[in-house]
Amino acid sequence: MTQTPEMPKQEPAAAKPFRYFMKVRYSECDAQLVVFNARYGDYIELAATEFLYLLGAGLPNLEATFDYQVVKLTIEWKAPARYRDILEIGVRATHLGNTSFELTTEFRNAETGQFLATGELIGVAVHPETVEKITIPEAMKHAMKSGAQGKFIDHAGLYTAPQDH
């Protein structure tokens, strides 16, 4: 029988932000099987999208009233991620303005716990149809302040129970 890793511990809300799990694919790596630096921007966008979607899932008509555009993306690397590593990307809102917000991401190897990188995404709220800058809707701003502590999305299959066929 295949063993499944334990579920992530549900630590106090302030201790564990929302986490996005993903596995590094071959096409995202160079000849030494190290993740291309530019791919971290993709990873941040994926994690941020899942974070914001989870926050807004219960808010009525959010997709019709709120979207965002990235205006700044900063990444600092500490160690390389490699082919087939499972990444844990923590996401939290660290600044909320009237029309802009900042999401901070932390990359770790999910299996070893090794710290890999940090990222800062600054987004500006826009209307989905006109793409004009808008005030962040109060319900979304409140959800972003509260965060999604203890919640996660697992696209790596790390915490998915094996299926019997």
> What CATH topology corresponds to 18-148?
Thiol Ester Dehydrase; Chain A (3.10.129)
DSSP for 84-134? TPEEEEEEEEEEE-SSEEEEEEEEEETTT--EEEEEEEEEEEE-TTT--B-
Q: 125-152: per-residue pLDDT in tens?
A: 999 999 999 999 999 999 999 999 999 9
Full pLDDT tens readout for the chain, 165 residues: 444 444 444 454 346 899 999 999 999 999 999 999 999 999 999 999 999 999 998 788 888 889 999 999 999 999 999 999 999 999 999 999 999 999 999 999 999 999 999 999 999 999 999 999 999 999 999 999 999 999 999 999 988 756 554
Residue type, position 96, single letter: L
| Domain boundaries along the sequence of the chain | 18-148
DSSP for 10-61? ---TTT--EEEEEE--GGGB-TTSBB-TTHHHHHHHHHHHHHHHHHHTTSTT
Return the pLDDT at 8. 45
